[in-house]
Amino acid sequence: MKVYADHAATTPLDPRVLEAMLPFLGQRYYNPSSLYPEAKAVRAEVEAARRTVLELIGGPGRIVFTGSGTESVNLALRSAVSECDGDRKRILVSAVEHHAVLGCADSLAREGFAVECLPVDRYGVVSPDELKVRMGPDVSLVSVMSANNETGAVNDSAALCKIAHNGGAFFHTDAVQALGVFRIRAEEAGADFISVSAHKIYGPKGVGAMYAAENAPVFPVIRGGEQEGGARAGTENVAGIIGFGRAAGILNECLEEDALHLGKLKRIFLDGIESIPDVIVNSPPGGAPHIVSVSAAGVEAELCLLRLSMAGVFASMGAACNSSSVEPSHVVEAVGVPAEYKRGTMRFSFGRDNTAEDVSFAARELALAVAKSR
């Protein structure tokens, strides 16, 4: 039996998405900026995909296609600070942001911004009251993720955004993990910038999108041609964009069903691991339905995950982009996992195609792997 339980790292490509993409890797290879009718027809498909992604995000703003969720985050953060006056030099980010945000914030810090981390609770949630205390007229940008990629903690983006706006700052939310399991409703949340990525919603890798609200500035990070309305130079990844559009369209139809299914799987998994001694769950009740983070005392996560993969269960320690490190992640540190549990932190993330049988199997194999690893 093989159970893929690493959907927070990436999701399998939906066969319907692949089918939609294939013509654009074959006979419809035209550059969407060219003038003849075949190329204009490709342009029309790119624009249709843009509308579908915008519809899924649910706002009146604009979509800029990028090369990844990471690039979207960089574009959003740099856009947000691009027009700030010299008095707004503070940037507030949560302590558990993905490295996309932390890395970009770090580069802004080297350019003279003061970056401060907002503390989180034991699951990774930022308290709006905490943000209120730290806001000030010198803050240009607040960036807090919608759902955390390691614990599944969910933030109240609308409340956080309101506080940022009351202080005259822009608000960005990294919704890369949230997009597949929650209705983003950009208009209601009020965010100025939202970052998303196709490969977390059964779309292709290498394509992301940044949502910018109607009056938000957009500062191109990648310079060159006039593609994406001048916001992101470079010939479009047409097949990727078409795939993103198709994946967004499918998700728009089945998001609630997916979330319900994932919630049930999560319950079964949590019940299945309940009897394993000295294991704590780092994912909050009511968090993202696809993510379960657990920490087992006296266990090296890497060894345990290796045993699991030999048994056919594929899971990870946390963020996939950090998997070369066996040290506990910044998220594990920030949520305060007790010392004896830290190194035994593992993330299981389920998807649309997983079954109850899959998660029961994963839970049983986790119990065995933990016992053997101790």
Q: What is the DSSP string of 291-317?
A: EEEEEETT--HHHHHHHHHHTTEE-BS
In angstroms, the CA 1 to CA 365 distance is 11
- How far apart, in whole angstroms, are the C-alpha atoms of residue 315 and residue 330? 19
* 195, containing H or E segment: strand 193-197
Binding segment (CB under 6 A) for ligand PLP, from list 112-120, 169-177, 302-310, 323-331 = 169-177
In the bound state, the residue with its beta carbon closest to ligand PLP is: 69
**Residue placing its CB nearer to ligand PLP in the complex, 174 or 358:** 174
Which range binds ligand PLP by CB under 6 A, 20-28, 107-115, 171-179, 230-238?
171-179
Taking CB under 6 A as the rule, does residue 64 contact ligand PLP?
no
d(CA 2, CA 283): 24
- Our finding on whether 68 is near ligand PLP (CB under 6 A) is yes
6 is a contact residue toward ligand PLP (CB under 6 A) = no
CB 238 within 8 A of CB 32: yes
Token duo for residue 167: 């202080």
149 sits near ligand PLP (criterion: CB under 6 A): yes
Measured from the CB of residue 168, what is the shortest distance to ligand PLP in angstroms?
Answer: 26
Q: Give 117: exposed, middle or buried? Use CB within 10 Å, 0-12, 13-18, 19+.
A: middle
| Residue 163 C-beta: closest distance to ligand PLP, Å | 21
Residue 52 CA, distance from chain mean position: 19
Number of residues that bind ligand PLP (CB under 6 A): 15
Taking the complex as a whole, the smallest distance from the CB of residue 278 to ligand PLP amounts, in Å, to 28
Minimum CB distance to ligand PLP smaller for 262 or for 268: 262
Identity at 23, one-letter amino acid code? P
Task: Pick the piece of the chain touching ligand PLP (CB under 6 A) from 63-71, 112-120, 245-253, 271-279.
Answer: 63-71
Q: How far is Cα 285 from Cα 265, in angstroms, rounded to an integer?
A: 14
Identify the burial level of 35 via C-beta atoms within 10 angstroms of its C-beta, where 0-12 means exposed, 13-18 middle and 19 or more buried. exposed
Under the binding rule (CB under 6 A), the answer on residue 354 touching ligand PLP is no
Determine the length of the chain. 374
Asked if 176 interacts with ligand PLP (CB under 6 A), we say yes
Q: Does residue number 145 form part of the binding site for ligand PLP (CB under 6 A)? A: yes
Query: Binding of ligand PLP at residue 279 (CB under 6 A)?
Result: no
> Could you say whether residue 100 binds ligand PLP (CB under 6 A)?
yes
Given the rule CB under 6 A, which of 17-25, 174-182, 216-224, 366-374 is the region that contacts ligand PLP? Answer: 174-182
| CA distances, 37 to each of 20, 28, 32, 44 (Å) | 20, 11, 10, 10
Which DSSP symbol is given to 281?
A: E
Q: Which residues are catalytic?
A: 321
Helix ranges (H only) for the chain are 15-25, 37-57, 69-82, 99-110, 128-134, 157-166, 186-189, 238-273, 301-310, 330-334, 339-342, 356-373
Q: Judged by CB under 6 A, does residue 197 bind ligand PLP? A: yes
Judged by CB under 6 A, the chain residues 202 through 231 that form the site for ligand PLP are: 208
Q: Establish if 93 lies at the interface with ligand PLP (CB under 6 A).
A: no
Q: Does 293 bind ligand PLP (CB under 6 A)?
A: no
Q: How far is the CB of 362 from ligand PLP (least distance, A)?
A: 20
Question: Is residue 287 part of the contact set for ligand PLP (CB under 6 A)?
Answer: no
- Residues at the site binding ligand PLP, with contacts judged by CB under 6 A: 68-70, 98, 100, 145, 149, 174, 176-177, 197, 199, 208, 319-320
